Amino acid sequence: MYIAFKIIHVFAVIMFVGNITVGVFWKAWADRTKDARIIANTIDGIIAADRIFTIPGIVLLLIGGIGAALVGHIPILGTGWILWPIVLFIISGIAFGPVGRSQRLLSAVAHEAIDAGSINWEIYDRFSGIWNFWGTIALVAPLIAALIMIAKPALPAFHA
């Protein structure tokens, strides 16, 4: 069972981090075009991909990680290389709030631009800056968490 949970956990990390990374790439690619139709389609695709990959990735990541720890009799809060990635995962989750809001606003600005014939770059760039800032946190935190989980360094934890 331990191996099964670990496989689920690793698969979920790939889904979660992979989708975030690809979203950053596709948004930058779409922004380069300066075409509201392409930008709107891309942002809408990123929002859909979050529903299809990121959110299920979170659920599977938790099931796999907690399941592996429980089956392997590894104390979750008493093991630093598990505790600190959980903290980073929570930080990433908090960052997704502003990311999600800015994605919806970016989509709205791009769709309005399709109807209006031109995009309001000042507003788009403001929401894009918010998306970039919080998106960087949402991406870097789980990348660091993955490095910690792989390296398993001796980190402080809670001991009962």
Per-residue burial over 30-65, b = 16 or more CB atoms within 10 Å of its CB, e = otherwise: bbeeebbeebbbbbbebbebbeebbeebbebbeebb
Average pLDDT over the chain, rounded to an integer: 97
Which pLDDT band holds residue 160 (cuts at 50, 70, 90)? Answer: low
Q: In what helix (H) or strand (E) does residue 29 lie, and over which residues does it extend?
A: helix 2-33
- Provide mean pLDDT across the span 47-64: 96
Q: Are 94 and 141 in contact (CB under 8 A)?
A: no
Q: What is the pLDDT of residues 90-135, one digit of tens each?
A: 999 999 999 999 999 999 999 999 999 999 999 999 999 999 999 9
Residue 156, classed as helix, strand or coil, is coil
**pLDDT given at position 159:** 84
What is the per-residue pLDDT for 116? 96
Closest to 88 in 3D by CA, of 141, 14, 13, 26: 141
Predicted confidence (pLDDT) at residue 51 exceeds the cutoff of 80: yes
**Residue 20, pLDDT above cutoff 70:** yes
Percent of the chain with pLDDT over 90: 99
